[in-house]
A and B are shown apart, each in its own frame.
Chain A
């Protein structure tokens, strides 16, 4: 049976098994994209990470799961590509004092569920767990991603990456320096 979320292209809808195959392919492509997103963060390839975003793409981390928009709202992150570039340049500056100590992250992304797929876009939610080492301290962050992806001829581009931290409302022991 064709999945509700499978693309509605005529070829895919022709037979149930073709639809299933195309759904599996999409699931695979989306997962690979999400893994790459996380890997670029963990390997600190900041510019390549920013390039995953559409020209008007937004990275958003609300402080509260009830928020439905970043506009006019307090936000832990609400960055367009210009602000992302500021953050990247800061991270790379030799005098970013707090970035000098040994620092690294490790993301695991899972539970990838496609919510909606059209020929133009795919909406997908997933879960992540991030371990961060800074100096001698380890911190854990976990939560959910929600990606609104644009389909382009070069693959997916992020229109919106929403990051809901499970611990968003808890006090932050120290701050977040890079995107999660």
Chain B
């Protein structure tokens, strides 16, 4: 194990392998929260989650309880969920509406939606001659240092300095462009339901799995096979099985060699992307109606460009996994070194036919809900990984697959041709990790 003081963290990460302590040492976890999650841009929620003034959702950024709230002026604010008086959380519920202002449940200090103090009961008589006055920043609710949104997706950073959201996202912004462009109205809207699932493993194990093209046909064999058998049976009976069966059976029928035909793209700040899409482009009447709506909105050429974007998954490091073609995302909230909460959301393409929404909804329910037949086996593997890494059975985690064959161009690293199962995305994430963890403070 580590000594009392943590030695040079850069020694824990080599380009093709990582020491196990990075996943299981609680002190490293605390440092990660300080140096990564509580500094970088973290996804808070979508603007359509808080449509009316006073609407709020609570959210964790690193270890910090925050609240995202819509102000009377229409702006979305992200504040520490903490009363400046004696520290009580202002919002005890997961979400709700504050009314015209926040009112602390302990001694009724009230605050505007941007965090400014509104009123303290009997302030003049109670505080005359003390250090506390309206000019004192300590009597306002502390806001996140920076809040920005991109196409309706709200991010906050708890550090005053650092790249802008646009710089941070860079080319990985395609996660949101691909999702929103697919809507004839050019934007998406939240489906008001959040599935929340706790994983018994380190947060990085989940992220490293997201673009791991080597695992689906192994891990998800049972669910894929089962769906494939029923899909064939329905086809035999009725001629055509719903697309949702294909979404499940592809986990077994797309074998490892086929996954290799896809490609990983690896961006600065640890973001990465896997091409390929299980749903392909079906030619059923619903799809055709949708494509017609898209052509009407954008013109034939642009619509075709939008439809031919071929992305399976985009990872916005360190806290967001996006499936733009299915309008779904999973936000990662590390709870402790071995517990990770995922918040799973689905979005509606504005202006698209109902059938298109329902098709993606089937994936949300079958793959991403708490009764998932797919992620269940991922979570089992994550737990096993965490247990194994906590052991003294070895010091290193291997990311050697296709190492040395990556192709770099203009700051973007792609896995080589026919190397979709490359471990380049894991290497890229750890590269960002080491930069964050060893940066001058």
List A residues at the B interface (Cβ < 8 Å).
61, 63-64, 72-78, 82-83, 85-90, 93-99, 170-177
Contact = CB atoms under 8 A, between A and B. Distances in A.
Contact of B379 (A61, A90, A174): A174
B390 to A, nearest CB: 16
Contacts of A76: 195, 365, 369-371
B349 to A, nearest CB: 14
Contacts of A78: 365
B230 interface: yes
Contact of A171 (B196, B200, B234, B373): B196
B372 A95 contact: no
Given A63-B193, A63-B195, A171-B341, A86 B222 contact: no
Given A171-B197, A171-B341, A90 B372 contact: no
A85 B227 CA distance: 8
Given A93-B221, A97-B381, A74 B193 contact: yes
B195 A74 contact: yes
Contact of A72 (B223, B361, B369): B361
27 contacts: A63-B193, A63-B195, A72-B358, A72-B361, A73-B361, A74-B361, A74-B365, A75-B365, A77-B371, A78-B365, A83-B230, A86-B227, A90-B225, A95-B221, A95-B222, A97-B219, A98-B377, A171-B196, A171-B341, A172-B195, A172-B196, A174-B198, A174-B379, A175-B370, A175-B375, A176-B370, A176-B371
Contact of B225 (A77, A93, A174, A175): A93
B contact residues, range: 35 or more
Interface class of chain B by DSSP: helix
A170 B94 CA distance: 10
Contacts of A96: 222-223, 377
Given A89-B229, A96-B377, A171-B341, A74 B369 contact: yes
Contacts of A74: 191, 193, 195, 346, 361, 364-365, 369
A72 B355 CA distance: 9
A85 B197 contact: no
A90 B223 contact: yes
Instruction: Pick the 4 closest A-B CB pairs, nearest first.
Output: A89-B226, A93-B222, A98-B380, A171-B196
Nearest to B198: A173
B230 A175 contact: no
Contacts of B229: 89
A174 B200 contact: yes
B371 A98 contact: no
Given A89-B225, A171-B341, 16 more contacts: A63-B195, A75-B365, A86-B227, A86-B248, A93-B222, A96-B222, A97-B380, A98-B376, A98-B380, A172-B196, A172-B197, A174-B200, A175-B376, A176-B371, A177-B371, A177-B376
Interface of B: 191, 193, 195-200, 219, 221-223, 225-227, 229-230, 234, 245, 248, 341, 346, 354, 357-358, 361, 364-366, 369-373, 375-377, 379-381
Contacts of A173: 198
Contacts of A172: 195-198, 370
A73, A74, A93, A172 pick with most chain B CB within 10 angstroms: A74
A86, A94, A174 pick with most chain B CB within 10 angstroms: A86
Contacts of B197: 171-172, 174-175
Contacts of B200: 174
Given A95-B221, A97-B380, A175-B370, A82 B234 contact: yes
A141 B196 CA distance: 16
A90 B370 contact: no
Contacts of A90: 222-223, 225-227, 373
